[in-house]
Each structure stands twice: as C-alpha cells, then as structure tokens.
Chain A
Amino acid sequence: MNMQNQAQYVLRTVEERGIRMVQLWFTDVLGRHKAFHVTPAELADALDEGMTFDGSAIDGFSRGQESDVLARPDLTTFQLLPWHAEGSGVASVFCDIVKIDGTPFEGCPRQQLRRVLNEARTRGYTFFVAPEMEYFYFNSLETSAPPVPVDRGSYFDLLPDDTASQLRRRTVLTLEEMGIGVEHAQHEDAPGQHEIDLRYTDALTMADTVMTVRHVIKELARQSNIAASFMPKPLSHEQGSGMHTHVSLWREDTNAFIGDGPYGLSVVAQQFIAGLVHHAPEITAITNQWVNSYKRLVPGHEAPVSAAWARFEPSALVRVPTVKTGRFDSTRVEYRAPDPAANPYLAFAVILAAGLRGIEGGYELPAEGQATTYLPRSLAEATELMERSQLLHETLGEHLVEWFLRNKRAEWASYRSEVTPFELERYLPLL
C-alpha cells in the first residue's frame, strides 16, 4: 500500500467534498472514544507527522517522565460521517498512538490488538470477528432516578412504528451507508433494549467498527432526543446488554474451524474453545471491565456465570452456533461473556490470545455443558485473576496491565465504600 496515495486520496476527498473538519479518532485504555478536531488546513501536517499531545491527560497513556505521544492517522480508515450536511461535512480517521520516536506505544489498545493479530499471522491464521451489539434506548441519561426505557417491547417484538424502532432502522441504514455490514437488527428481551448484529470482518477493522457503531448509535439517538446506553446492566430486573462475539480462524481461504469433530468442528476449533474456557476467568477483567458488568453476569438472564461450552444452552460461556446446510464457511464459535462497554481492541485481543493458547498447548476440550470453573463474580475478583494471569501480562504488556489494575482497584475501592439504595431500602427501616 502506498502511503502517499492514501494521503492524496484523503486530501483530495476533503477538498472535493467540502469537508470542514476532520476528527482524528483514538481510544483510551478503557475503550473510551477520544478525538482531535483538525481543519483541512492543518490536515496535511497531521497526516504527515501525526498530532503530538500530552498522554498524561488520557486514561492509561501516562508514562511518567516523558508523557508526550503522537496520534498517527491510519489513512485506510478515513470515512465521511454521513449525518453531517453536504458542504459542511465532517470526516473521521482512526489513529495509532506511537511514541515521539515513532515506535509503538504500549498503552495504545489498537496496537496491542495488532500485536496479537501479528502473532496469529505468523502461525498462518487470520482472525474474523462478528459481535452482536446490545444496548438500551432511554428517555434520558439523567442519573437521579432509574432510567426509563423508550418502549415496552420484548424479544423480536414487531411494534407499530414507534420512535425506537424507527431510530434503530435509521441507525442500521446509516451504518450500511458507511459500509458497515449489518447482519440483522431486532428488539431484544428487555423494554427499550435493541440489538444490532454486525457482519464479520477482520478483528482490527471490527474493533474500529465497534467504536464507530457505538458513536453512531449514540449520536443518532441524541438527534432524536433519546439516550442510547451500552451500560452492561442498567435495569435491575431486566436482562443486561452483552456483546456476544462470534469468532473464526482462517488459513488462507479455508475456515480452520471446519472439521470432522463434534458439530463439524476441527481439532483447531476444539482447542480454541478449550483455550477460551480455560482462560475465561482471567480475561474477564478485560471483556467485562466495570463494576456494573458483574451485575449482568448473574444466573437467570441468559448471561454466563461459569466456564462451559455447549451447542444450545443459552447461558453457556461458549456456544457453537448451528451452521446452515451448505454454509460450512460460517462455522464459528460464539463467546458470550463480553459486554458492549468493553474496549473492543483489548477484548478481541484477549479472546484471540486465549484461543491461541489452547491451540498452542493442545488443550483438551472438556465435556459439553460441564463447567470447569466459575467466572469472577465481581470486578474485585476479576482484577485479582488478572493480576495473576501470565496470559494477560504477555498479551497486553506490563505497562497496560499495571495501569489497568491500578485503575480498576480504585474503581472498586470507591464502589465498595458507597452506600447503595439497596442497603437503604432494606436496612434503614429495620436496623
């Protein structure tokens, strides 16, 4: 690929399409979407040299003494944001964060994912990912009272053309317009809960896509005076929002998961599943990174609580979806722990790393439906498991793991000392 042509393409497009602002997008360690805004006049420099900024202002980016880092646009990700009017257009481009000397910065989630993808590639594998994004539409994000869902629908309900369904349809059309393939979209189980299933791409593209999709869903909702939220468990007695992630490994043109084993799985697929099941507890801090994430991972709402694999069981951690006859290429594995508030770069990185460990170590697939171990039940447990995890230290690097642990311990500490409505309701009148 030719960098100069890519830059030419971007600059010419900005000129021809009357783009007034280009957003340089990147992601902090917790997966929050960050952006610089540059005008076309500054763009050529930004594309050429990247944008220097003080990393200590970003979660997980500080590196002590020398805190300056460089955001370097990945020009293949340049895209127009279709909801801005023609003539005053806005475009976006994802950035990699590098050190001032141009070497990869270990706090950059995008490059951590690249690293694991490169590792897979040296073994001849490419990694494809298709997540299902669940989220809620609420009337507002006002936090003084529990949020109110915009509709009262449930699983697959076809409601008369209400605001939420219209909004979801408009969102899907916008995503398609941006070239983001949507497999299907539906109303989910809980009131106000919707789901958009994305069509597979390579994992790096998909992590970018998840960032874009979260942004588009929130932005279009905001334009309709509705609030979209990816909070894993916003309503106490309803199902939470997950990001079930379908994955497959490919060798050249061949799906490496297809084989003669149970359910048409290859040995590689079985070892990959075994790796996922085995390492699930330690990677949960990444795939479910908030205090609130663990309120979703409870029995009774089809969310996994223990590390088992199965064909159908909806609460299994790893599922092997049925493949339609003649569509063996879609043979894949569904990892059901992650929630949509995870950092997609890191989540895909650790899922792949866990699966690769299984292949590398020739792990034995446990019996179907048999839980070998429990998933952590709280952020505190998850961070403990993370700290002891060799897999995570090797996959994400010391810098990132250390920062992450510090941040999550602080989050847990401030949660632990909080007196909740649950306690007040229960104890105040009684004790």
Chain B
Amino acid sequence: MNLDTLLCVPTCDGPLLKAFTLVGIRCVVSATGRLDDIARAEPSEGFSGAVVDASTMSMTDAMGLCRQLRAREKSLSPIMVILDPHQVDELTFREDLFDDFILTPLDVNEMAARLRHRLRRAGHEGGTALVDLGGLLINLETYQASIAGRTLDLTYMEYELLRFLATNPHRVFTRETLLNRVWGYEYYGGARTVDVHVRRLRAKLGEEHAHLIATIRSVGYKFSLTSNWSDDED
C-alpha cells in the first residue's frame, strides 16, 4: 500500500481534513512545529510533504518553519502554505521556501486538486495512489475498485465508505464518525445507514472477502486483513 502521509502544522481539520480525505492521503499533525516533535511523529517511510497553515501564525514563523523543513536531513517537499489573502505580499523573495500556496477561506476541491497535483509533480504516488490490501485494489484516481481481479460495481456511497475504511486500515470507526466523514449530514437512515451499506459492500465483496470489513461489536467498523470477523447479522 502506498498511501502518502503529509505533515500538517499546526492543525488538520475542517476543509483541509476533507481535502485529505478526498485525495485519500493521511496527515500527521504537529501543533508545535518543532523539529524534534516532527521527527518523533514521522512514519518510517517518511513524509511525502507538508502543509503549513501560515494564516494561524506570523509569516516570519511560518517561513522559518518552511526553511527548517527544507534544511532537514530528509528535506521535505512539496511544502504547501495556507495564507490569509493579506499575507500574499509577504511571499516575495521567499519563493524557494514553498512549492505552492492557497488562500483562505479554503475551498475543499481546490485544496484537493492542488494536493494531488503537487504530489504527482513531486513524483509521489499520492495523486494516483492505489490501495492494494488483501486482494482489494482501489485506484483512487479512476474510482475503480476490484477484489481478487474482479471489478466491483459500487454506488458512490459504497465506494466512499470502502475507500475511507481501506485508506485507514486497522482503525476502528464508530458509525457516527463514518456518517460524518463519509456521508455528511444529509441522509435519512441515521447510523443504521452505515450498517446497511456495510452489508451491501460485504455482499459485493463476496463471501471470501467480506471479512475485510470487520464489525467491532458495539463500537463500529474497521478495515481488517485478519479473517476472523464478528458477524453482525441481525
């Protein structure tokens, strides 16, 4: 599985988090932006880039951080900076410190498109990420999923649910979290909707692979590669 992890300073929430979810990349947040904190949080395969939200700090601090990230032994690239419109002037002569910038208020689709574009330009898999787990293959760019070589016909919500779980493997999500992160709020079924969709997804995955979506009793669901799964038939 080649999912990119980006460093986010100082937060990753709201539209930024949505953009991450859309692109199918992970974030590690460092609230302090201190290099030792960042190094501790770094995944073994390293960061594929960073997003620095300069709109929440002074431009000097933000650019200082970018400089440090560039100067690290494992230099970080691409670096994307989020700016308040009034900060744009201050970019002059600092062009080498970042690869792209975007203005607040963030537009989720624009942010997602820029992330994808930058990751691809930097030669990372990000934009064309393939999820390849336990026989499940998801091409995040073409929205096509297959299991053991068999193409899956998924509705949009089934696809989104599968993608969300598979890009966060082994993490347990409550139904409420899934509803909020995958559906948004405009749905009639409430939390039971998640159960219905999980049932549908398992049916489409087929008996042999249905265990990929595991029920964690009275908590929620997770994407799991082990084949013991609790049965939630009711």
Contacts and interface: CB of A to CB of B under 8 A. Distances in A.
A82 interface: yes
B186 A1 contact: yes
B192 A179 contact: no
A79 B190 contact: no
Interface in B169-193: 175, 183-184, 186-193
A253 B174 CA distance: 11
A9 B143 contact: yes
B159 interface: yes
A252 B190 contact: yes
Contacts of B203: 176-177, 179, 181
B29 interface: no
What 7 A-B pairs are tightest by C-beta distance, nearest first?
A202-B189, A179-B200, A80-B153, A126-B190, A1-B184, A202-B188, A9-B156
A9 B159 contact: yes
| Chain B CB within 10 Å, residue with most, of A17, A177, A205 | A205
A330 interface: yes
A214 interface: no
Nearest to B203: A176
B153 A6 contact: no
Interface string A114-128: 100100010000111
A225 interface: no
Interface residues of A, number: 44
A114 B199 CA distance: 23
Contact of A2 (B108, B155, B204): B108
Interface of B: 22, 108-109, 142-144, 151, 153-159, 175, 183-184, 186-193, 196, 199-201, 203-204, 234
Given A17-B151, A177-B204, A178-B153, 11 more contacts: A1-B186, A2-B108, A12-B142, A13-B143, A80-B153, A121-B188, A179-B200, A201-B193, A202-B188, A202-B193, A250-B190
B192 A199 contact: no
Interface of A: 1-2, 4-6, 8-10, 12-13, 16-17, 75-80, 82, 114, 117, 121, 126-128, 176-181, 199-205, 250, 252-253, 327, 329-330
Nearest to B186: A1
| Chain B CB within 10 Å, residue with most, of A79, A204, A253 | A253
B192 A126 contact: yes
17 contacts: A8-B143, A9-B159, A12-B142, A12-B143, A76-B156, A80-B153, A117-B188, A128-B189, A128-B192, A181-B199, A181-B203, A201-B196, A202-B187, A202-B190, A250-B192, A253-B190, A253-B191
B198 to A, nearest CB: 11
Given A126-B192, A205-B196, A253-B191, A75 B156 contact: yes
B190 A5 contact: no
Contact of A179 (B108, B190, B193, B204): B204
A77 B157 CA distance: 9
A180 B197 CA distance: 10
A6 B109 contact: no
A327 B204 contact: no
A332 B189 CA distance: 16
B195 to A, nearest CB: 9
A127 B190 CA distance: 9
A203 B188 contact: yes
A75 B159 CA distance: 13
A117 B188 CA distance: 7
Contacts of B154: 179
Contacts of A178: 153
B199 A77 contact: no
A179 B158 contact: yes
Contacts of B156: 5-6, 9-10, 75-76, 78
A16 to B, nearest CB: 5
Contacts of A2: 22, 108-109, 184
Nearest to A328: B234
Nearest to A79: B155
Contacts of B108: 2
A200 B22 contact: no
A295 B154 CA distance: 41
Contacts of B192: 126, 128, 202, 250, 253
| Chain A CB within 10 Å, residue with most, of B108, B156, B158, B190 | B156
A75 B189 CA distance: 17
Contacts of A250: 190, 192
Nearest to A75: B156
Given A13-B143, A16-B144, A252-B191, A202 B155 contact: no
Contacts of A6: 156
A13 B156 CA distance: 10
Contacts of A10: 156
| Chain B CB within 10 Å, residue with most, of A9, A80, A203 | A9
Nearest to B22: A5
B189 A205 contact: yes
A178 B200 CA distance: 8
